[in-house]
Chains A and B, each alone.
Chain A
Amino acid sequence: MNSKNIILILLAIALVFPLFAGPYFVNVLTTIFVFLALSLSWDMMLRTGQLSFGTAAFFGLGAYASAITVLKLGWNPLFSIVIGGLFAGLISYILGYAVLKLREIYFSITTLAITSVFSVIIRNMSDLTGGAGGATFKSAIFNGDPTKIYYLLLFLTLVVIGISEWFKRSKIHFAINSIRNDEVTAKSSGIDVFKYLLLVFVITSIIQGVIGAVYAQQYAFVEPESTFSLNFLLLPIAMALVGGIYSTNGPIIGAFILGIISEYLKLIIPYGHLIVYGLIIVIVVLYMPSGIYKTVKGKMLTNNGRRESYDHT
């Protein structure tokens, strides 16, 4: 069975899933999609060599932009999701001129600081944002219908996967991989380093903004503490690390494995499931540093190689 067939089968399962699964499982999968998209967007930025801690910042920004357009302007929630993405993209474009001049730990720390700064600003603009207490919507998007929300997030996740593959198969792959490997070589070979960093930073911020907007509309609620929660940074990073960085498949596999495990652990160990969850991450990172996807793929390749060499003798 080749990979194209596997993708088609998985896609078919994802499309019919809500028809035979109950709302609980539909919800679990919907949450996995949220973190999958964030994880992929974080990985796309990492492919340029920049370790961003700003995932939650643009997630929260998108959530608030969407909330305000619905609450204050009374716009359509679906349209407000577009606004959430565009607003996150615009802010990342402006901030990019400052933060993308920074490298390594300085870039990482600054993006983390941006998250706190956004959260503080939102908290203090209480007229517009509802302040520290947050704001509640009259109703969730699609009146809270889990199936419709599922399909919306499935669609968005597929778009994000598509963007990730476009990165992999176009000149962008060559540009950002070169920048990660050796920026001086990249510059000397005609690559406009800043332009590509800005492009990836803005695209990944738009993704984070859109996902944040959907999340806000799904739960009909925004609040500085939980909307800018570091969960939207740390879980996506853990998923990409467990699945395997610098790839599309790695974060997908990581999101499903960790997403399903965390749900299961919540059921069997309601108190302390996070400890087991953390242990799993530590073990995978220690024993499979290149992630599950590349480790398994590497094993399969060497097994095939051995079989072939046996055939020759």
Chain B
Amino acid sequence: MTTLKTDNIVKKFGGLTAVNKLSFSVDKGEILGIIGPNGAGKTTVINLIAGTLPVSEGKIYFSETDVTNKAPHIRNQMGIARTFQTVRPLKDFTAIENIMVGSLFGQKKDLKAGREYAEEIAQLLNFKNINKPIDELTVLELKKIEIGRALASKPDLLFLDEVMAGLNSEEIWELIEIVRKLQQQEMAICVVEHIMKVVKELTSNVVVLENGQIIAEGPYEEVSADEQVIAAYLGEDY
């Protein structure tokens, strides 16, 4: 079943077209990789689908419902969750309270049920220091908070925006295992990532963006051999 389908979405910032007639889809239980050089429009695509930015043209369908004009908090309640490339923790809350925000509002749970759900998520993420304040957390823990808050809203579609950046390889493996567990729960996941090892390990299909357009799509092996993709990443001369 198709969880997400975009139909020719366009985003213009003044004269600049950041996303140009983009159409792609993600199925239930699929992990889609979105790659591309810096400035290709990857994060903008997440912002458009999560509703943080309005689209200039085109339509977004989530579980066959048109969500193009829905407010971001409504989309989250419907089941679209995302993490942020630079972590955006709520600094006056503890770790577990940060995760709770997702279950309290994304799922509309009450305080008690919301906390219990957040604790389950913390366990799934192998997160120990749930009562620590934000400023005492490590980079990995902050990334887990980011994922945890998204997961606590019990999404059907999850965007992970460069969650592996800044982690060492042991930590990356830990997160890869967690994402695989989520896939088994039949979640549709979009991974925006610069670390090719992660894309290779996790994704079944990859979409390559350049200047807001898809220049290649397909399984990782095919896409990584594509000359146009290599040119976009490394420059024409290679």
Contact = CB atoms under 8 A, between A and B. Distances in A.
Contacts of B88: 182, 184-185
13 contacts: A174-B104, A182-B89, A182-B90, A185-B84, A186-B90, A188-B81, A189-B73, A189-B81, A189-B101, A190-B76, A190-B107, A191-B105, A192-B71
Contact of A177 (B77, B90, B114): B90
A302 interface: no
B91 interface: yes
Contacts of B100: 174
B149 A174 contact: no
Given A171-B110, A188-B50, A188-B82, A193 B104 contact: no
- How big is chain A's contact interface, by range? 20 to 34
A295 to B, nearest CB: 17
Contact of A190 (B52, B93, B106): B106
A177 B92 contact: yes
A187 B73 contact: yes
A193 B90 contact: no
B102 interface: yes
B80 to A, nearest CB: 9
B106 A189 contact: yes
A23 B104 CA distance: 49
Interface in B49-68: 50-52
B220 to A, nearest CB: 28
A170 B109 CA distance: 12
B105 A175 contact: yes
Given A174-B100, A184-B52, A189 B92 contact: no
B36 interface: no
Given A174-B104, A185-B84, A185-B90, A190 B73 contact: yes
B153 interface: yes
B76 A189 contact: yes
Contact of A189 (B71, B91, B105, B111): B105
Contact of A171 (B90, B102, B104): B104
A184 B149 CA distance: 13
A174 B71 CA distance: 20
Contacts of A189: 73, 76, 81, 101-102, 105-106, 149-150, 153
A174 B91 contact: no
B101 A174 contact: yes
Contacts of B149: 185, 189
Contacts of A191: 73, 101, 105
